[in-house]
Chain A
């Protein structure tokens, strides 16, 4: 995760250097920064706290039982719904995915879960999408990506019929 922050820092310094060379006026830039900050941060604090409580309320063990190979394609809706309600960043989402993998969840189910989470991560919607872009974009995007988790899981399911490449068990979960 720190690599991401480093990449951002480097990008920031490069941009500042370019801006200095272009003799950009920093007044409006700072003004826009303050405006975006005001839109984002107070809501972000509340959404963060709310998401933390929801993460406590999700029944992880019950769900992982429904995602095994026996469930076949039926596991996909369960996985998609679970991804939908995980209101947390990648640390928690992938930790949950690893719990599922250990409990014997199938690869298509995990692909569906990760895809669904990545598209609907509730905290991201509440913290960033609505304050910065607006609710009407959220509505449009949520409907547009609705079939995608199932498609991803479905393609992974078909791929599993042809090859074992990428199919679990993940090396370290075996044994």
Chain B
């Protein structure tokens, strides 16, 4: 079929709208509204408008990143040899898998849009819960790019090095804890995979 046919598929478009403006969206919408009212009442109109202005600036900066990050994640999703990933960071991978996930998180460039989009790819590639937690923890706390761009200029190189050294064992530890917690984990991607006609089913 021609590559863009899915755009005209009414079923697909309906599901896309449900994903975009479902229950979750209205929850967020209500939270934003309530917090806006609280902010206006507590801090006054000036703070309220100041917050909105900052949001607008942030949004303009954010959108190109989101588009690029999601493009990367979509490409990686189809290009990565997923069976090999599950060997590296799957349930049988032990501490080695957590170390691999930690290293991957440390070198993942970009903000949360890229890290979480790649985490979603990891989730459908058979990474276990410990590796997923270790990956995102490593990105959050050890991410090289973040340390260089934020810690060093704001807090000084010495503080940055100290913080990184102190944080080195944390992602593996978090992964080990995650493997032992008796919690159920349903990843959105896996739910998608059970629905036909979605890209998530193409595993």
Closest to A28 in B: B199
- Check A81 for interface membership: any CB of B closer than 8 A: no
Contact residues of B between 8 and 30, Cβ < 8 Å to A: 12, 16-17, 19-21, 24-25, 28-29
Cβ of B58: which chain A residues have Cβ within 8 Å of it?
48, 52, 89
**Mask for A60-78, Cβ within 8 A of B = 1, else 0?**
0000000000000000000
Contact residues of B between 23 and 76, Cβ < 8 Å to A: 24-25, 28-29, 31-32, 35-36, 38-39, 42-43, 47-48, 50-52, 54-55, 58-59, 61-62, 64-76
Max count, chain B CB within 10 A of own CB: residue among A43, A90, A139: A43
Contact B161 A140 (CB under 8 A): no
Contact A57 B42 (CB under 8 A): yes
- Check B103 for interface membership: any CB of A closer than 8 A: no
Cβ of A111: which chain B residues have Cβ within 8 Å of it?
162-163, 166
Contact residues of A between 134 and 175, Cβ < 8 Å to B: 134, 136-137, 139-141, 143-145, 147-148, 151-152, 155-156, 159, 165-168, 170-172
Cβ of A144: which chain B residues have Cβ within 8 Å of it?
133, 137, 174-175, 177-178, 181
Cβ of B64: which chain A residues have Cβ within 8 Å of it?
5
Minimum C-beta distance from B7 to chain A (A)? 8
Max count, chain B CB within 10 A of own CB: residue among A5, A32, A53, A115: A53
Closest to B183 in A: A140
Closest to A145 in B: B174
Cβ of A140: which chain B residues have Cβ within 8 Å of it?
129, 133, 178, 181, 183, 185
**Mask for A17-53, Cβ within 8 A of B = 1, else 0?**
0110010111111111111111111111111111011
A/B pair count, beta carbons within 8 Å: 300
Q: Which among A36, A47, A55, A170 is the interface contact of B28 at CB below 8 angstroms?
A: A47
Chain B interface, DSSP helix/strand/loop, else mixed: helix
Contact A52 B52 (CB under 8 A): yes
Contact B154 A97 (CB under 8 A): yes
Closest to A44 in B: B66
Contact A156 B166 (CB under 8 A): yes
- Check B146 for interface membership: any CB of A closer than 8 A: yes
Given contacts A4-B110, A110-B155, A145-B137, contact A94 B73 (CB under 8 A): no
Contact A48 B55 (CB under 8 A): yes
Cβ of A137: which chain B residues have Cβ within 8 Å of it?
123, 129, 132, 185, 187
Max count, chain B CB within 10 A of own CB: residue among A9, A46, A97: A46
Contact B183 A143 (CB under 8 A): yes
**Mask for B138-154, Cβ within 8 A of A = 1, else 0?**
00110001101111001
Known: A94-B151, A168-B159. 4 other contacts (CB 8 A): A4-B145, A32-B78, A53-B38, A156-B163
**Chain A contact residues, CB within 8 Å of chain B:** 1, 3-5, 7-9, 11-12, 15-16, 18-19, 22, 24-50, 52-57, 89-90, 94-95, 97-98, 101, 107, 110-111, 114-115, 118-119, 121, 124, 126-134, 136-137, 139-141, 143-145, 147-148, 151-152, 155-156, 159, 165-168, 170-172
